[in-house]
Amino acid sequence: MKPFKTSEKRDSLANYYEYKIEDRDHIKVSLFYSLGGMNYFTSNVDPRGIYLSVAPVNVTEHKMADGSTYTSVESTLLGKRSGYKRLVMELKKKILKICQS
């Protein structure tokens, strides 16, 4: 399965794979660094580290009147199709500099 689109931010990588799940047409797979801390949505303290996230999304390509195109990604934040996030590796405070080099 080839990635549809890849996005890179400073502390994360994301790939979108074409895969039909109910009303979603792609899966977003992200590997990212999180500072951790209080998660007010779950009332838990998340550890600092590297996380793997998998979530179903809809990817739509739009065409503008001038002929240019842009891509939008729609995901469900709440509900049964919100995806999963798992801690891959817990890290100490200063280890991020080592990971970036």
| pLDDT for 1 | 45
Q: Is the pLDDT of residue 25 over 90?
A: no
CB 14 within 8 A of CB 4: no
pTM: 0.67
Q: Is the pLDDT of residue 42 over 60?
A: yes
Give 5's pLDDT tier (boundaries 50, 70, 90).
low
Q: Which long-range contacts (CB under 8 A, 24 or more apart) does 61-70 make?
A: none
Segment 16-28 mean pLDDT: 76
When the pLDDT of each residue in the chain is averaged and rounded to a whole number, the result is 77
Which of 58, 44, 60, 56 is CA-nearest to residue 80?
56
